[in-house]
Copies of this chain bind each other. A is one copy, B any other.
Amino acid sequence: MDAFEALAEPNRRRILDLLCAGERPAGLLGKTLAISQPGVSKHLRMLREAGLVESRASGQKRLYRLVPGKLAEIDAWLEPYRQFWAGRLDALEAHLEREQ
């Protein structure tokens, strides 16, 4: 499971949104999002395998936190597209007209 696939699922994005505010135990995530316990666990596993989160044990609980670098890959992939909504539209369109 790569990062792009992991982000395709809305609940997984919401989990990341919650973790954005800080480290959280698995159970709390499930309660907040109203997902079944096995559901959260499976999503968390995928997020782990995608390298987007990591966990540590703390007593009975398992605390999850974001892994900073992974979303940066997606950010990097987006980089070439930023010119499209950053004012270079006219230049691009002119370029296309010339090509085709």
Contact = CB atoms under 8 A, between A and B. Distances in A.
A22 B99 contact: yes
Interface stretch (A4-12, A30-38, A40-48): A4-12
B69 A20 contact: no
A62 to B, nearest CB: 12
- Interface residue tally of chain A, by bracket? 20 to 34
Contacts of A66: 81, 84
Given A8-B8, A95-B22, A99-B23, A82 B89 contact: no
Given A8-B8, A100-B58, A20 B68 contact: no
A96 interface: yes
Given A5-B8, A8-B5, A66-B84, A75 B78 contact: yes
